[in-house]
Amino acid sequence: MTIASKTPLTAGSTRLISLSSVMPWAFAALFLMCLPLVFQSNSALTIMNQMAITIVFALSYNMLLGQGGMLSFGHAVYMGLGGFFAMHVMNWVEDGLWLPLPLLPIVGGLFGLLFAFLIGSFSTRRAGTTFAMISLGVGELIAACSIIIVVFFGGEEGVSGDRTMGPPVFGYEFLSQLEVYYLTAAWLLLAALLMFLFSRTPIGRIANAVRDNEERAEFLGYSQRKVRWISFCFSGFFAGVAGSLFAINFEILTEENLNLATSGTILLVTFIGGAGFFVGPIIGAVVFTLLQTVLGLHTELWALYLGILFVSCVMFFPGGFAGLIAMHRRPLALGKMHLLVRPYLKVAIPAATSVLSLAALLEILHHKRHSYGDDHAMSLYGIAFDAGGMGSVLVTLAIAALSLFLVSRILPEIKAAWDEANHAGGAA
């Protein structure tokens, strides 16, 4: 049945793509284009590429966790399989197969989709614990296979290749890191856009419905299994795309790319960013890659800090970083953000000092345990000191205690300001 539009003036506007929906993407494209102008070194480009790959992977994971309500412990399988296949195709290209490098992620994606289709056929029957357990089992199975089936997985050395052997695309052969960056960034944008659009389709919305209440969805004509399966296939495709991008960037894939540790990492990344929001995994991937690469350069303990971040995220802000930002929508809508500025500024220095001094404490203790012989010289935040005696520990403890005390004194003020900022109407 068709119903004539009651508002002919606005009827046409729904057909056009509205400016407000295009702007964020145009801005993102511009941003990605300009990034290499600021960060020019090869290592910075590598970090950005790694970030882009993690973003695509995390977004594909969130199609399951955030949008479909499927907690997977084995999502690296699809990224890994897609990546391995892309690696093989890259080698076939070297032997004469015609395929321009920018199209490789499609091939890897389709391979990921194929396996998601096969495995999803039985794993998506139920959500919850059943799905989680099957994903764990399949993850372990494929990781074990990667050592056994040497033809495909290359055993412990993995599979490597050379991305530059394909036909040149407009003269580019992807020799330089910058060219690879633009290729990766273009795929990041395309994949993110497609995943965003997926969430706006009927199946995308019904995936949310099945996540929230699978029984109700069944009584509305939808097979919960089929809805999950379709989401799962799409997720597998984009994981395969991420794997292919990894293959293009690093020219090697090993068991590490599809084992349970990688699956666990992407769960952590998505959760820290905020599974309930489309941008959540993007934030999570950026934070994670920075911790891993930049912080990883300075301290061996980066994984510990990541773990602490994850645990505090689960305990104190389960919406992740995106959730923290989204909390401020209401004060913003009420025009009361200014109430929060002062308390936030006030707490910033003590809070930062607490975090830094607690981290310093961990670093000093770590240094004391692992330094050789009498080499107690240490440098933190640009301050050189002798970590030999208990002096440095006591000083750091004192700073930590003092700053934590200050934070605890400011907290009630923040809470009061928060309540006031979320309170509709005039002054309370």
- Between CA 327 and CA 277, with CA 185 as vertex, the angle to 5 degrees is 20
23, 130, 141, 226: which one binds another protein (CB under 8 A):
226
> Least distance to another protein from the beta carbon of 117, Å?
14
Q: Which of 204, 235, 231 is nearest to 112 (CA)?
A: 235
Selected binder of another protein within 171, 200, 384, 425 (CB under 8 A): 200
Three-state DSSP state, 253: strand
Q: Is position 237 an interface residue for another protein (rule: CB under 8 A)?
A: no
Place of tokens 């929508």: 329
Q: Of residues 137, 216, 390, 405, which one binds another protein by CB under 8 A?
A: 216
* CA-to-CA separations, 147 to 74, 118, 143, 253, in angstroms, rounded: 17, 21, 7, 13
12 binds another protein (CB under 8 A): no
The binder of another protein chosen from 234, 237, 246, 271 (CB under 8 A): 234
d(CA 375, CA 388): 8
Among 170, 219, 316, 381, binds another protein (CB under 8 A): 219
Nearer of residues 85 and 198 to another protein, judged by Cβ: 198
Q: Does 197 bind another protein (CB under 8 A)?
A: yes
Indicate the helix (H) or strand (E) that contains 116. Answer: helix 104-123
Candidate ranges 11-19, 36-44, 235-243, 286-294; the one touching another protein (CB under 8 A): 11-19
Cα distances (Å, whole numbers) of residue 6 to 3, 13, 40, 310, 311: 9, 14, 55, 50, 52
Q: Which stretch binds another protein (CB under 8 A): 128-136, 174-182, 210-218, 264-272?
A: 210-218
19 part of the interface to another protein, by CB under 8 A: no
| Interface region with another protein, contact rule CB under 8 A, candidates 2-10, 24-32, 155-163, 295-303 | 2-10
| Least distance from another protein to the Cβ atom of residue 400, Å | 39
One symbol per residue from 339 to 378: x for binding another protein (CB under 8 A), - otherwise; what is it? ----------------------------------------
CA dist 54 → 58, 60, 209, 284 (Å): 6, 10, 27, 9
Member of 198, 232, 246, 321 binding another protein (CB under 8 A)? 198
Interface residue with another protein, options 57, 84, 174, 222 (CB under 8 A): 222
Least gap, CB of 3 to another protein (angstroms): 5
CB 31 within 8 A of CB 39: no
CA distances from 232 to 213, 217, 235, 424 (A): 18, 17, 5, 42
| Distance from the first to the final alpha carbon of the chain | 51
Query: With binding defined as CB under 8 A, does residue 181 bind another protein?
Result: no
The one segment of 58-66, 79-87, 216-224, 249-257 that binds another protein by CB under 8 A:
216-224
Query: Which one-letter amino acid corresponds to residue 362?
Result: L
DSSP assignment of 308-351 equals HHHHHHHHH-TTHHHHHHHTTHHHHHTT-THHHHHHHHHHHHHH
User: Is position 300 an interface residue for another protein (rule: CB under 8 A)?
Assistant: no
Residue number, 7 or 379, with CB nearest to another protein:
7
Q: What is the DSSP letter of 17?
A: P
The reply to whether 201 sits near another protein by the rule CB under 8 A is: yes
Residue 41 binds another protein (CB under 8 A): no
For residue 258, give the nearest of 377, 139, 403 by alpha carbon. Answer: 139
**Residues near another protein, by CB under 8 A:** 1-3, 5-6, 11, 14-15, 197-198, 200-206, 208-209, 212-213, 215-224, 226-227, 230, 234
